[in-house]
């Protein structure tokens, strides 16, 4: 029988809702409730995009003891010339989660028009990012941004 695991994005994607601005304390309480519900993966936020999310991971690592859930840090594929110098990927490592989710362009229109890259260059960004993170012991979930639009 196939196994389905839930991956909750409330703490990042939900925080993008108009009128919502979670504090670190809010995020900690929500994460605890999601764990109590048995959610296996909780996306804690994007530590490379704002100080509040970086602080959340720092505090969560010390204060949260989940029974069911695992925190995942969210970010994008590399931007710098090398993955080892990319601030976003380094922030994902600094979040100290076992699992990280990275998104990358998966619609050829966005690869060409937004990234201004070739399809091969985009695949290299994805490959380099996943390889860098897995070399550092992380499990990587790839979020294929706009996959169904492509």
Task: List, for residues 38-62, the tens digit of each pLDDT value.
Answer: 999 999 999 999 999 999 999 999 9
| In a domain? residue 2 | no
For position 66, what pLDDT does the model report? Answer: 95
**Number of separate domains in the chain:** 1
Domain with 105 in it: what CATH number? Answer: 3.20.20.70
Structural domain including 69 reads: 7-149
> Strands 41-45, 7-8: parallel, antiparallel or unpaired by DSSP?
parallel
| In a domain? residue 1 | no
Q: Is the overall model pTM greater than 0.85, yes or no?
A: yes
For position 148, what pLDDT does the model report? Answer: 77
Cβ-contact 106, 144 below 8 angstroms:
yes
| In a domain? residue 111 | yes
Planar angle of CA 62, 63, 66, nearest 5 degrees: 110
Task: List, for residues 87-142, the tens digit of each pLDDT value.
Answer: 999 999 999 999 999 999 999 999 999 989 999 999 999 999 999 999 999 999 99
Residue 149 in this model has a pLDDT that exceeds 80 = no
| In a domain? residue 38 | yes
The mean per-residue pLDDT over the stretch 20-36 comes to: 97
């Amino acid at each position: 029988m196939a196994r389905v695991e839930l991956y909750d994005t409330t703490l990042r994607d939900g925080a993008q809702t108009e009128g919502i601005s979670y504090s670190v304390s809010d995020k900690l309480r929500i994460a605890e409730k999601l764990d109590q519900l048995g959610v296996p993966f909780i996306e804690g936020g994007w530590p490379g995009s704002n100080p509040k999310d970086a602080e959340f991971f720092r505090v969560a690592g010390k204060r949260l003891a989940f029974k069911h859930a695992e925190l995942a840090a969210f970010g994008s594929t590399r931007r710098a010339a090398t993955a080892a110098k990319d601030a976003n990927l380094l922030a994902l490592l600094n979040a100290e989660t076992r699992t990280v989710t990275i998104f990358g362009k998966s619609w050829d229109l966005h690869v060409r028009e937004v990234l201004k890259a070739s399809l091969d260059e985009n695949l290299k960004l994805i490959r380099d990012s996943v390889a860098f993170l897995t070399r550092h012991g992380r499990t990587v979930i790839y979020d294929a941004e706009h996959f169904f639009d492509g």
